[in-house]
């Protein structure tokens, strides 16, 4: 008998247990094990019904994703499910944990489904760029109707046991000891002489083609660029329109195979593993001690401070906010309340939850009140002198072992740490705006930051619902450093003859949520302008020269918030519209500089904006600022909306081919002499060796 699947008998019920930690994924050994155990159960005369259950924490959570892309090994999952359904004995699935994907499909091959009240089931294949390929698209419509099945499969979200019972997927919800309850249920089915219920033999109610095309239209914007949601719809449509279950299964297989071989699915599978890998820091293990974070202090209740506080409040962690003036505190706390109330209005949280979160906030004007917090996050003005004063105060008042974090976006974390006598306790926690919404958290490791502090902060990131990526100290860290290089190219492309709308359209069509100029208008042109003005004052010799973006900012065209920036905006509308004022400033700048404009192709825009990012990403890797290419991928996916179906910046570069990218980088460097195009030695090396970032 297989080691990962066992068979035993309990009274009249034969029990098949899958035990393949951590999530009982349905790899080859498990699939073979289930078929063997089923044979055993069928041959066991004492077994009048069979039960299939997961050992450990869950019912199988799906196919083994690591096997995708490798040569298939028999028996395949669709065959296993069919074998279960065709078995001579009545079969009951007993579900706990998360029966996802192939796991849920296994349950659909059984006659009856029992679930623990805490269990969840769902078909999340769409998130991996796939569709349920073991009969899920054909059996679920037979249980709950094509329309509901299509919605569940395209959404891909796990559903709770109670909801599944209402939908008619789960027959019986139990609490307590699942195995005992499920055996009792099976005994009752035997006693009642309950009928077999093969899902594939149930009829599917007919739906008009309009139902499918309307649904496709309704998701077109949200799922732009993804292939799988649309294939999922086609597969469910086949269930409702094909003449037989077998014909529907054939269509499901064709569509599944197309997806399995698609670049979109390869990218999405990469992201699945990358998301889990970013949390693993070489040198830090489960054994690395962590500090307990029971109370947090936040300095500065401005744009970032308030948003940062909400993450902790929502996770049930009390927050003390500190400001220079009572008005600033009142304003910050009022904004937190307003944000929660807006969420409650949308029905996402209850008004009790709003009050619960608000009851966890306290405020103070005195540093002495921070003596008992376990972590402080500083979010005051972006000014080294101010930050050093703040950290000096924190060093004075905070208890031993408190973690001192800064949310700086550009300043040197090491220099900030040096203003304390405990640099080992200092770390950067770079939240992205709006901090209560954006999932990315760049945790910045200083030279002296201890492993214990890193382990605590990485763990805490998860606890507050963020994806924490550990990065090193440099200007802009990983995300903004790469962004600035792209922004500079975008401006230069416009100087040379492109329009802001053309540049934005190319990057939007590539799959980014917005182009560089719409993004600048969203962030506010005043932000970059103030930084550049500061540099012009402090270090005129090395400051950037004044350009048309500065001219727009000087006219108080700061973007969306002032009704116009690089683009114009109609009242209450965020759609960027080409602006005559901005074009006039661009023309003026070109004239001043004596630039002769030319037609800039969309291809050049794409290459210059994206390859400069790849080159910078490679430099970031060789400097050790990011630990692995996948860290850069995750930063760009969660911080800037890089399309998931392209797998992130470095994964995408691998698909394009590093040789081709390197050749272009070199060409742009030769043509422009711009240091941003100086080829990264790492990129050069990988390209010459025919290797990929993924090989590192």
Separation CA 89–CA 95 (nearest Å): 19
**What are 427's two structure tokens?**
């770390």
What is the Cα–Cα distance from 222 to 245, expressed in whole angstroms? 31
* Size of residue set near ligand 3HC by CB under 6 A: 25
473 contacts ligand 3HC (rule: CB under 6 A):
no
Nearer to ligand NAI, 531 or 696 (CB): 531
Q: Which is nearer to ligand NAI, 267 or 299 (CB)?
A: 299
Q: Residues 6 or more apart from 133 whose CB is under 8 A from it?
A: 63, 77, 78, 125, 252, 253, 256, 260
Tokens 């969840």, residue? Answer: 120
Write the interaction track for ligand NAI spanning residues 288-317; mark x where CB under 6 A is met and - where it is not: -----------xxxxxxx------------
**Which residues inside 365-384 make contact with ligand NAI, applying CB under 6 A?**
379-382
- Binding-site partner at residue 390 among ligand 3HC, ligand NAI, none, CB < 5 to 8 Å by type: ligand NAI
Strand ranges (E), 254-410? 296-299, 319-322, 361-364, 375-378, 403-406
Q: Measured from the CB atom, is 146 or 506 closer to ligand 3HC?
A: 146
Give which of ligand NAI, ligand 3HC, none residue 301 binds (C-beta under 5 to 8 Å, depending on kind). Answer: ligand NAI
Pairing of strands 98-100, 120-122: parallel
Helices assigned H by DSSP within 346-478: 351-358, 384-397, 413-418, 451-463
Tell me how far apart the alpha carbons of residues 446 and 458 are, in angstroms, rounded to a whole number: 14
Q: Looking only at residues 419 through 458 of this chain, which bind ligand 3HC when binding is defined by CB under 6 A? A: none
Nearer to ligand NAI, 302 or 497 (CB): 302
DSSP helix/strand/coil, 110: coil
Cα 418 from Cα 409, distance rounded (Å): 18
Q: Check: CB of residue 114 under 8 Å from CB of residue 181.
A: yes
Q: How far is CA 251 from CA 73, 209, 242, 255, 514, in A?
A: 21, 16, 9, 6, 36
- Segment contacting ligand NAI by CB under 6 A, of 28-36, 253-261, 340-348, 406-414: 406-414
345: Cβ contacts below 8 Å, ≥ 6 apart: none
- Per CB under 6 A, the segment of 105-113, 269-277, 321-329, 643-651 that binds ligand NAI is 321-329
What would the x/- binding string for ligand 3HC be over residues 23 to 62, using CB under 6 A?
x-x-----------------------------------xx
One residue of 14, 33, 54, 102 binding ligand 3HC per CB under 6 A:
102
The question of whether 125 is a catalytic residue gets the answer yes
Mark 40-57 as b/e (b = at least 16 C-beta within 10 Å): bbeeeeebbbbbbbbbee
Q: Which of residues 422-451 bind ligand NAI (CB under 6 A)?
A: 431, 433
105 in catalytic set: yes
- Residue count, binding to ligand NAI (CB under 6 A): 22
CB 37 within 8 A of CB 71: no
How much helix, strand and coil, in percent to the nearest 5, is found in the chain? 55, 10, 35
C-alpha dihedral sign at 317, 321, 326, 330 = negative
Residue 64 engages ligand 3HC in binding (rule: CB under 6 A): yes
From ligand NAI, ligand 3HC, none, which one binds at residue 533 (CB under 5 to 8 Å depending on kind)? none
> CA torsion angle for 456, 462, 466, 468 (degrees, to 10)?
50
Which listed option, ligand 3HC, ligand NAI, none, makes contact with residue 380 (CB within 5 to 8 Å by class)? ligand NAI
The closest residue (CB) to ligand NAI is: 302
Of 232 and 417, the one with the shorter C-beta distance to ligand 3HC is 232
User: Shortest distance, CB of residue 475 to ligand NAI, whole angstroms?
Assistant: 12
Our finding on whether 579 is near ligand NAI (CB under 6 A) is no
Residue 441 per-residue DSSP state: E
Of the residues 85, 105, 252, 323, only one is catalytic, namely 105
Interface of this chain with ligand 3HC, residues 109 to 138, rule: CB under 6 A = 124-125, 128, 130, 132-134, 136
Structure tokens at 398: 């905070």
Q: Is 392 in the site for ligand NAI (CB under 6 A)?
A: no
Q: Choose the catalytic residue: 67, 85, 88, 125.
A: 125
The distance of closest approach from Cβ of residue 61 to ligand 3HC in the complex, given in angstroms and rounded to an integer, is 3
Sites of contact with ligand NAI (CB under 6 A): 299-305, 322-324, 328, 379-382, 386, 390, 407-409, 431, 433
Sites of contact with ligand 3HC (CB under 6 A): 22-23, 25, 61-66, 77, 98, 100-102, 105, 124-125, 128, 130, 132-134, 136, 273, 276
Catalytic residues: 105, 125
């Amino acid at each position: 008998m297989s080691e990962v699947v066992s068979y035993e008998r309990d009274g009249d019920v034969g029990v098949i247990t899958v035990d393949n930690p951590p999530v009982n994924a349905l790899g080859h050994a498990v699939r073979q094990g289930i078929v063997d155990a089923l044979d055993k159960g069928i041959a066991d005369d004492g077994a009048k019904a069979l039960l299939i259950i997961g050992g450990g924490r869950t019912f199988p959570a799906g196919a083994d994703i690591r096997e995708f892309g490798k040569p298939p090994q028999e028996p395949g999952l669709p065959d296993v499910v069919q074998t279960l359904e065709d078995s001579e004995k009545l079969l009951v699935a007993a579900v706990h944990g998360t029966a996802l994907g192939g796991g849920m499909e296994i349950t659909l091959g059984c006659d009856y489904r029992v679930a623990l009240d805490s269990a969840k089931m769902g078909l999340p294949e769409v998130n991996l760029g796939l569709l349920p390929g073991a009969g899920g698209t054909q059996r679920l419509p037979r249980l709950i109707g094509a329309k509901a099945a299509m919605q569940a499969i395209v959404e891909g979200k796990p559903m709770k046991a109670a909801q599944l019972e209402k939908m008619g997927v789960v027959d019986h919800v139990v609490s307590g000891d699942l195995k005992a309850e499920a055996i009792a249920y099976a005994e009752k089915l035997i006693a009642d002489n309950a009928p077999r219920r093969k899902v594939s033999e149930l009829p599917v109610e007919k739906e008009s083609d309009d139902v499918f095309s309307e649904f496709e239209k309704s998701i077109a914007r949200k799922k732009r660029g993804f292939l799988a949601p649309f294939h999922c719809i086609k597969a469910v449509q086949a269930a409702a329109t094909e003449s037989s279950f077998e014909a529907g299964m054939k269509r499901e297989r064709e569509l599944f195979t197309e997806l399995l071989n698609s670049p979109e699915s390869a990218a999405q599978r990469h992201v699945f593993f990358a998301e889990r890998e970013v949390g693993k820091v070489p040198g830090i293990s489960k054994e690395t001690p962590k500090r307990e974070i029971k109370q947090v202090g936040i300095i500065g209740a401005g744009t970032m401070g308030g948003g940062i506080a909400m993450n902790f409040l929502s996770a049930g962690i009390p927050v003390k906010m500190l400001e220079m003036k009572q008005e600033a505190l009142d304003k910050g706390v009022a904004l937190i309340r307003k944000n929660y109330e807006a969420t409650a209005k949308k029905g996402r949280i209850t008004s009790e939850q709003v009050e619960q979160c608000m009851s966890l906030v306290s405020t103070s004007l005195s540093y002495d009140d921070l003596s008992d917090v376990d972590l402080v996050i500083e979010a005051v003005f972006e000014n080294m002198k101010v930050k050093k004063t703040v950290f000096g105060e924190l060093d004075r008042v905070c208890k031993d072992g408190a973690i001192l974090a800064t949310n700086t976006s550009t300043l040197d974390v090491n220099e900030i740490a040096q203003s304390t006598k405990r640099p080992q306790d200092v770390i950067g926690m770079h939240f992205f705006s709006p901090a209560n919404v954006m999932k990315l958290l760049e945790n910045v490791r200083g030279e002296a930051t201890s492993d214990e502090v890193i382990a605590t902060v990485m763990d805490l990131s998860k606890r507050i619902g963020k994806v924490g990526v550990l990065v090193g100290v440099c200007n802009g860290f990983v995300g903004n450093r790469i962004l600035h290089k792209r922004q500079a190219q975008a401006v230069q492309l416009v100087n040379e003859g492109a329009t802001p709308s053309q540049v934005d359209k190319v990057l939007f069509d590539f799959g980014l949520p917005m182009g560089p100029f719409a993004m600048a208008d969203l962030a506010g042109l005043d932000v970059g302008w103030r930084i550049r003005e500061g540099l012009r004052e402090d270090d005129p010799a090395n400051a950037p020269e004044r350009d048309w973006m500065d001219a727009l900012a000087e006219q108080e065209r700061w973007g969306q918030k002032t009704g116009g920036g690089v683009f114009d905006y109609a009242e209450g509308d965020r759609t960027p519209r080409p602006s005559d004022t901005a074009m006039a400033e661009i023309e003026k700048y070109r004239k001043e500089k004596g630039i002769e404009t030319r037609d800039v192709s969309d291809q050049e825009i794409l290459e210059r904006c994206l390859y400069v990012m790849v080159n910078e990403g490679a430099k970031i890797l060789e400097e050790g600022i990011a630990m692995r290419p996948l860290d850069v991928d995750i930063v760009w996916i969660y911080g800037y909306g890089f399309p998931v179906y392209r797998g992130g910046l470095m994964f995408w570069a691998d698909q394009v081919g590093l040789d081709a990218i390197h050749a272009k980088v070199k060409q742009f460097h030769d043509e422009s002499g711009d240091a941003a195009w100086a080829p990264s030695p790492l990129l050069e090396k990988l390209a010459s060796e025919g290797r990929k970032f993924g090989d590192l």
